[in-house]
Amino acid sequence: MRILFVTNMYPSAERPAWGTFVWQQAQQLRQFGHTVDVVHILGFRSKLNYLKGAVEVLERTRRTAYDIVHAHYGLSAFPACFRVRPPLVITLHGSDVLGGGLESFLIRVIWRFADSVIVVSEEMRRRIPGIVIPCGVDLNVFRPYDRAEARSRLGWPPHKYVVLFPFDPARLVKRYDLAKAAVEQVTQTGLDVELVAICDVENREMPWYYSAADAMILCSDREGSPTAVKEALACNLPVVATDVGDVREILRGIEGSRISKQEISDLGRNLREVLHASRNGSFEARAEMMRYDQGYTIRKILGVYKHVLRARERKQSA
């Protein structure tokens, strides 16, 4: 198949960690023998780029016989609607549906123009009908390394407890303020703990950060299917997370991680327990992440593509 991705989330030199899960899907589809082209809309620079994206989609689908146009993230569906012939699949990733305001309203209108809608969690499906396919993890990339080796590589102190916050602190929805306060609370109990925020790190380097840390923390107001949680667990890093998106399902069956209330005291208590366990026993979660293997996710997405194409063929022959 020849597929055109239309997305405002995609790695670039300016933002190498932005939308890496979309890049991973494109790469995996290529490994499966499909051709994937990408229209990357730099919406963070200017909303006018969505109009430019619409023109690019129109021109590309006029010149090239694509089988599928696949829009990632709700606002990307607007320019994707300007395709000439191919059916449209939209993947909604979380804040585009679960957030409020004008953007959420527009998404609730735009998705109706799609031939099929994918959502990444059951919570999202309760708001917009779609096929639930959580984002996968490339287990060939996200694998554990020796902690001492990882810390040496990154220049981190060998004995200090490190809590990883693998998000942009400037994104208010991620609640860096809560993570910082929770770590400060743990520090007041006598543990030597540091919170390390990581963003704009290339995808292939992230396993070293997960392997070097003692725990990961997620305090978000809302999420769809947080890929960072799955990546951390694939690297055998325990997670303390608020009960958002499909976090409860991701952590199902995994001993040593915690789901916390979105309160500083509860986050701090759970974090201290996880940190203590991380140095006094083994933690194993990688095997549980096999259910999120990227290859499995891609097969489900390809199933959606084939269903849409069959429906188009039936409609044309009727």
Q: 71-123: per-residue pLDDT in tens?
A: 998 789 899 999 999 999 999 887 766 666 666 777 778 888 899 999 998 88
Residues 220 and 311 in one domain: no
pLDDT score recorded for residue 55: 96
Domain that holds residue 23: 2-136+293-317
Residues 90 and 185 in one domain: no
Domain annotation covers residue 204: yes
Residues 60 and 104 in one domain: yes
Residues 254 and 206 in one domain: yes
Name the range with the highest mean pLDDT among 28-32, 101-105, 108-112, 311-315: 28-32
Q: Is the pLDDT of residue 125 over 90?
A: no
Segment 229-255 shows an average pLDDT of 94
Q: Could you tell me the two tokens for 53?
A: 């994206």
Give the pairing of strands 116-119 and 35-40: unpaired
Domain annotation covers residue 108: yes
pLDDT score recorded for residue 259: 96
* pLDDT tens readout for residues 255-294: 999 999 999 999 999 999 999 888 777 889 999 999 999 9
Residues 30 and 81 in one domain: yes
* pLDDT tens readout for residues 149-184: 999 999 999 999 999 999 999 999 999 999 999 999
Residues 151 and 274 in one domain: yes
The phi-psi region of residue 144 (left if phi > 0; otherwise alpha if psi is between -120 and 50; otherwise beta) is beta
Residues 168 and 258 in one domain: yes
Domain annotation covers residue 123: yes
Domain annotation covers residue 141: no
Q: What is the mean pLDDT of the chain?
A: 91
Q: Is the pLDDT of residue 312 over 90?
A: no
Q: Could you tell me the two tokens for 213?
A: 């840390």
Query: Where residue 67 sits, what CATH number does that domain have?
Result: 3.40.50.2000
Give start and end residues of each alpha helix (H) in 12-100.
Answer: 20-31, 48-63, 77-80, 95-98
Domain annotation covers residue 142: no
Domains of the chain: total: 2
Residues 220 and 239 in one domain: yes
pLDDT score recorded for residue 315: 80
